[in-house]
């Protein structure tokens, strides 16, 4: 009797997994956070041969990884765009782990790159509501204009950025900000 219940349960789970896999193949653009959680927490734990399990959807990537990028011409605009991308990778401050977003090697630097100028670019791109930065860390003063009510960009570069420098952008999950190192 108990074997029938166990066998029926296993067959039902396998049928649901197979149905889920077929539905996913038919409707490729329907990947949702629920679909990803189902894959990560249920389907991968079902004891079926690998060929019978549906593959993890590409949109359900696991953890974001660090990207090493060579930037031919580093400007305030370029650095601001990478800071915004790091904040996106960090799920707007909701990512629960330390995240090394980018290692940027600046072959050539155009102009002076500093937190005030980068924040001005973020403000001109109307991104202050997305990633606010109301405090200039190195100068230890508030940003002269209004760029949100919080400090979500922690600037840790004391020296002038010159040709050949490497800039590291990482997300700090305890402080919920992007660090520029």
Residues 77 and 152 in one domain: yes
Task: Kindly report the pTM of this predicted structure.
Answer: 0.68
Of the candidates 131, 64, 56, 61, the one whose C-alpha atom is nearest the C-alpha of residue 95 is 64
Residues 149 and 86 in one domain: yes
Taking only the tens place, the pLDDT of each residue in 50-87 is: 676 667 666 666 667 788 999 999 999 999 999 999 99
User: Residue 7 sits in which domain range?
Assistant: 2-60
71 bridge partner residues: 106
Residues 51 and 80 in one domain: no
CA atoms of 150 and 172, how far apart (whole Å): 15
Residue 37 — φ and ψ, nearest 5°?
-65, -40
Query: What length is written for the chain?
Result: 181
Residues 88 and 176 in one domain: yes
Confidence of residue 31 (pLDDT cuts 50, 70, 90): low
What's residue 120's pLDDT? 96
For the chain, how long is the longest CA-to-CA vector? Answer: 78
Residues 49 and 133 in one domain: no
Structural domain total, the chain:
2
pLDDT higher at 127 or 10:
127
């Amino acid at each position: 009797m108990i074997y029938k219940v166990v066998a029926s349960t296993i067959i039902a789970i396998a049928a649901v997994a197979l149905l889920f896999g077929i539905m996913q193949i038919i409707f490729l653009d329907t990947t949702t956070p629920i679909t990803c959680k189902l894959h990560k927490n249920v389907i991968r734990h079902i004891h079926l041969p690998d060929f019978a399990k549906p593959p993890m959807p590409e949109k359900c990537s696991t953890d974001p990884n660090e990207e090493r990028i060579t930037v031919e011409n580093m400007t305030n605009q370029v650095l601001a765009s990478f800071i915004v991308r790091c904040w996106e990778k960090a799920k707007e401050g909701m990512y629960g782990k330390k995240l090394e977003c980018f290692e940027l090697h600046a072959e050539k630097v155009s102009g002076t790159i500093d937190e005030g100028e980068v924040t001005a670019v973020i403000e001109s791109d109307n991104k202050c509501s997305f990633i606010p930065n109301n405090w200039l860390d190195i100068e230890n003063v508030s940003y002269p204009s209004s760029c949100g009510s919080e400090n979500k960009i922690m600037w840790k570069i004391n020296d002038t950025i010159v040709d050949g420098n490497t800039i590291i952008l990482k997300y700090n999950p305890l402080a919920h900000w992007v660090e520029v190192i």
